[in-house]
Amino acid sequence: MKPDYETLIVGAGFSGIGAAINLDKAGLGDYQIIEAGEGAGGTWYWNTYPGIAVDIPSFSYQFSFEKSPDWTRTYAPGRELRAYAEHCVDKYGLRPKIRFGTKVLGARFDDDHSLWRLELDSGAEITGRFLINASGVLITPNLPDIDGVDSFAGLTMHTARWDHTQDLTG
């Protein structure tokens, strides 16, 4: 059985973008990136709360082969990191190989056919010989287990799912 792709990459954050670019550079361009968000950037796509910025110098987040001299601050705001990720996606021609807005519900290795099977939220299945899990550790908000939180009548939100419609002026 021939797989749909040679390589499947889960996540279009910095790890997924970097993996794809390096696969292309190595002549291994038969891959597909599956991304739950509607844009690239991983953490910088999902976390949009007011004041978000890097906590280490901005240049630490850039690829060695794609340096950005345009950081506005030593500790750049999150929107700049996201813009840099989108820039890399476009400059290196990755966008046609990314399935945005698609969640991977499960991944299993098929021993009989020596390939990976990914179940997508659309109900579809895609296959690949290799799997790169670049989904990151911050993709799913980790909500604290607080007694009584279900009965709290006030507003709650996680930084990774910030609700910009809420006015928090105080």
The secondary element (H helix, E strand) that includes residue 129 is: strand 125-133
80 is a domain residue: yes
Residue 167 covered by a domain:
no
**Cβ atoms 108, 116 nearer than 8 A:** yes
Q: For the range 120-126, what are the long-range contacts, defined as Cβ-Cβ under 8 Å and sequence gap of 24 or more?
A: 120/34, 126/4, 126/5, 126/8, 126/32, 126/34
Asked whether the predicted pLDDT for residue 140 surpasses 80, the reply is no
CATH of residue 115: 3.50.50.60
Print the domain residue range for 97.
5-140
Q: What is the pLDDT of residues 27-42, one digit of tens each?
A: 999 999 999 999 999 9
Distance CA 87, CA 72 (A): 16
pLDDT score, position 26:
98
Has residue 162 been placed in a domain? no
Distance, CA of 44 to chain centre: 8
Residue 158 lies in a domain: no
Q: 79-122: per-residue pLDDT in tens?
A: 999 999 999 999 999 999 999 999 999 999 999 999 999 999 99
How many distinct structural domains can be found in the chain?
1
The answer to whether residue 60 sits within a structural domain is yes
Q: Is residue 157 part of a domain?
A: no
Residue 13 to residue 134: CA distance in whole angstroms? 7
Q: What is the pLDDT of residue 123?
A: 98
